[in-house]
Structure 1
Amino acid sequence: MSRRVALSLTAGVVVLGGAGAFALAYAGDQPPALAHSTARYTAPDGDRDGSLSFSTEVTASGGVKSVKVLAYPAQSALAEKAPTAEEMAAEEPAICMVVDTDTARCTYTVRVTAAEAASSPQGSWHVAVLATAADGSTTLDTRAAGFTLRTR
């Protein structure tokens, strides 16, 4: 191997190594990412309660600290202005199971009685999610998933 080729190869390795280190440092500064978010509403039936279940996968460099969830009607004052991160911080938490050091699968399930379903606005609903990483960075998705609330 000629000296010029060896120097070019070495320079290339240094550049690629530096780019990799930059990419890792940059990835550490990323807020949590949500993926595969789904919501499922099951209406109450007879004397059996219904439920709302939401699940998402959260990836955050260094781990996931918390995930807060809020369901709200698409035709409401909250939908017009969208919930803020400050408002979401007070909402109910999802239960998260660690998949690996950076990823957690989180679920939120709530029971829905026939009376609650009957008194709630029928039609489209949105699910908002506030994910907080271990380093304190946050991601707010005010329309992470949706569902339709209908009584039977």
Structure 2
Amino acid sequence: MLKSTEYLVEEGADKGKLFVITRMSAFAADEWARDIVRGLAAAGNKLLTSSIDLGVGSLANVSFALFGAMHKEDVDRALLLLRECCQIRRDARNPLVEPTKILEVDIEDPQTIKNLYVKAFELHVDFLKAAAELISPIVAAMAAEDNKGKESPAAT
């Protein structure tokens, strides 16, 4: 069974709505994480490499700074996959009611959208850390090779 968490909106226009966020399968989450690492590498971002040593919770805190460095298409795909992890339980008081897909009319408050992304990201941040540990040394080695040929004569 996939790990999941519930998020009850406590204030704002969506107060009282209950969302269920379920983690992607391990293979899907691994692919999602590798796509983010590759997107950051393509954007020339060094933030992820320096963030690898952070704990999982701390890495979650810098997550959206990472997204801000990526190309729009990469961010849109990453967020879409996180959004697909989120469902709404239409009757928050009845646990027997199965959660269903979120419709555009289900959310009014932008804070709810942000909080759903954050909660979904938190369920997957360990995959991001693993992908960064796997891919970043390779990316760093390739960048170092590229830079060897670009050194100025004064630097040698």
Same fold (TM over 0.5): no
Between Structure 1 and Structure 2, the one with more strand by share is 1
Larger Rg: 1
**Greater RCO (Cα-Cα under 8 Å, separation 6 or more):** 2
Provide TM-score, normalisation by structure 2.
0.29
Provide TM-score, normalisation by structure 1.
0.29
Between Structure 1 and Structure 2, the one with more helix by share is 2
